[in-house]
Amino acid sequence: MSILIKNGRIVTATDDFTGDIFINGETISAIGKNLSVEADEQIDATGMLVFPGGIDPHVHLEMPFMGTFSSDTHETGTRAALFGGTTTVIDFVLQKQGHSLHEALEEWNGRAAGTTFGDYSFHMAVTDFNEDTKKEIRQMIEEEGITSFKTFMAYKGALMIDDRQMVGLMEEVKKQGGMVTVHATNGDMIDYLIQKNREAGNLSPLYHYLSQPEVTEAEASERFIDMLNYTGCPGYIVHLTCEGALNAVRNATKRNQHLFVETCIQYLLLDASLYEKNFEGAKWVMSPPLREKKDQQTLWAGINQNLVNVVATDHCPFMWEQKKMGEKDFSKIPNGHPAIENRIELLYSEGVDKRKITLNKFVEVACTNPAKIFGMFPQKGTIAPGSDADIVIFDPHKKHTLSAQTHHMNVDYSGYEGWEVTGKVKTVLLRGKVAIDDNECKLEKGFGKFIKRKRVSNAIMNFE
């Protein structure tokens, strides 16, 4: 099957020109002006932006958490992602304490294999680093193509590892050619503040935010960065939210240290005033919580300063009935927020259309950098001959309103209900096949495939 996309404004992290793209099978065959080739199908992209399929490297699909599961499965979540212009996601496999990494991978493979619409990969969350786990790191990287290892500095007794385990993991992951990623918040301090607020009868969603002040993230980020510096391990901070944490990253550059930083679309656009809406504030209960307006300014600046490399989602939706588990106690509200379908359109509307970032930067943080950092480039994340034909055709002028009534995520509310955006995904191709066209999914369940990722090379630490 061949497709010729004609007359689109083709945008990558570095390029911006009007031209044609010829796709033969699953990959891009040629790019040029006025291509004269025969194709089975032709798509007129006049007046449209044409950019690589988005990569969301931070999603939680059907994740067990706080006695329930996130409501999007690998089937519904990857389908919703495609509607929003994201063709590849990286989900998190969670090791259970006392169990092996391979047991966890087998469980997640059982849920994902044969069910996804879009392409996917896995991070491995290490919650119990010991001598047995250490032996599994090499096999995860070499045989499974899982090269990133997530750690938690919070959620004691469930997900959190201590600094001794962290340093041991960093040393082994560096040796085997991987990367350590982190949820950087001070779990002990947060647990103390949660207990203090509960004992005082402060039980509304506002106290979720007040139990995780900026210092808890800033301190943990700095500690993680120092451990990375000591071990020399490549590292990545997930969902960074605030000025204090980003300043820890800035300080690291003064000693010529380099690490990767991700923020999420909600931290760029939403703020902590939403927690004052009584229990409705539960819609935005996530960890770390939403921050202040000054933190939004810091994050946008961080993107343009190349300190923030990726805009992801931390997509972890729960139905409203699940959120109501914490109606009388904020600490029992499942943490998570639906955004997998909204990321690309919101980032374009609020970033590019409002002139906070350039079109090239938009593609860089939503598509190209995740592919480079996590070992999928140039197969994914760019438009180039030989790359997978993962392509978004995007109408930059179409206005529409986000709503739970029209989204495709398996959740019964939207964190962006009534938000008018400028720019809409029109057509999405995944590996040369039309996946979405005019708000209709054209793929069958199971078309998505697992993407094995490459080792992290030393060159990545001189990332450009």
Residue range 286-310, pLDDT digits in tens? 999 999 999 999 999 999 999 999 9
pLDDT score of 67: 86
Q: What does the pLDDT average to over 204-213? A: 98
Helix pair angle (131-142, 163-176), 10° resolution? 30
415-to-13, 24, 412, 418 alpha-carbon distances in Å: 29, 39, 10, 9
Q: What does the pLDDT average to over 215-235? A: 98
Q: Which residues does 316 contact at the CB level (< 8 Å), separation at least 6?
A: 59, 60, 63, 65, 70, 286, 335, 336, 337, 338
Mean pLDDT, the chain, whole residue set? 97
pLDDT score of 462: 55
**How far is 109 from 233, CA to CA, in rounded Å?**
28
Structure tokens at 239: 């969902």
- Burial of 173-188, coded b for 16+ CB within 10 Å and e otherwise, reads bbebbbbbbbbbbbbe
Residue 153 has pLDDT above 70, yes or no: yes
Beta strands in 12-154 (DSSP E): 16-24, 27-32, 41-44, 49-52, 54-59, 64-65, 68-69, 86-94, 119-125, 148-152
pLDDT score of 394: 98
pLDDT score of 277: 93
Q: What does the pLDDT average to over 210-238? A: 98
pLDDT score of 66: 83
Percent of the chain with pLDDT over 70: 98
Q: What does the pLDDT average to over 398-416? A: 98
Question: Virtual CA dihedral for 425, 262, 281, 335, nearest 10 degrees?
Answer: 110
Task: State the amino acid at position 65 in one-letter form.
Answer: F
The residue among 462, 100, 104, 46 whose CA lies nearest residue 259 is: 462
**Which residue do the tokens 């139990």 mark?**
211
Which strand (E) or helix (H) includes residue 440?
strand 440-441
Q: Which residues does 244 contact at the CB level (< 8 Å), separation at least 6?
A: 214, 215, 217, 218, 221
Helix (H, G, I), strand (E, B) or coil at 130: coil
Q: Report how many helices (DSSP H) and strands (DSSP E) the chain contains, helices first.
A: 14, 19
**How far is 184 from 241, CA to CA, in rounded Å?**
10
Helix (H, G, I), strand (E, B) or coil at 97: coil
Percent of the chain with pLDDT over 90: 97
**How far is 209 from 188, CA to CA, in rounded Å?**
16
Structure tokens at 242: 């605030």
pLDDT score of 460: 62
Domain boundaries along the sequence of the chain:
53-380
Determine how many CB atoms are found less than 10 A away from the CB of residue 462.
8
Q: Which residues does 281 contact at the CB level (< 8 Å), separation at least 6?
A: 204, 205, 206, 274, 275
The residue among 56, 55, 52 whose CA lies nearest residue 313 is: 56
Query: CA 69 from chain center: how many Å?
Result: 19
**How far is 113 from 320, CA to CA, in rounded Å?**
28
Residue 461 has pLDDT above 90, yes or no: no
128-to-150, 165, 169, 408, 426 alpha-carbon distances in Å: 11, 8, 10, 35, 44
Cα four-point dihedral sign 42, 48, 51, 56: negative
- Burial of 75-113, coded b for 16+ CB within 10 Å and e otherwise, reads bbbbbbbbbbbbbbbbbbbbbeeeeebeebbebbeebbe
pLDDT score of 456: 86
pLDDT score of 44: 98
Q: What does the pLDDT average to over 383-411? A: 98
pLDDT tens, residue by residue, 307-344 = 999 999 999 999 999 999 999 999 999 999 999 999 99
Residue 23 has pLDDT above 60, yes or no: yes
Helix (H, G, I), strand (E, B) or coil at 71: coil
Q: Which long-range contacts (CB under 8 A, 24 or more apart) does 94-98 make?
A: 94/63, 94/64, 94/125, 94/127, 94/159, 95/124, 95/125, 95/126, 95/127, 95/128, 95/133, 96/127, 96/128, 97/127, 97/128, 97/158, 98/128
Q: What does the pLDDT average to over 17-23? A: 98
Fold classification of 53-380 (topology level): TIM Barrel (3.20.20)
pLDDT score of 194: 98
Provide the 8-state DSSP code for 315: B
pTM of the predicted protein model: 0.97
327-to-17, 273, 280, 319, 410 alpha-carbon distances in Å: 52, 19, 10, 13, 21
- Pairing assessment for the beta strands 2-11 and 16-24 based on DSSP bridges: antiparallel
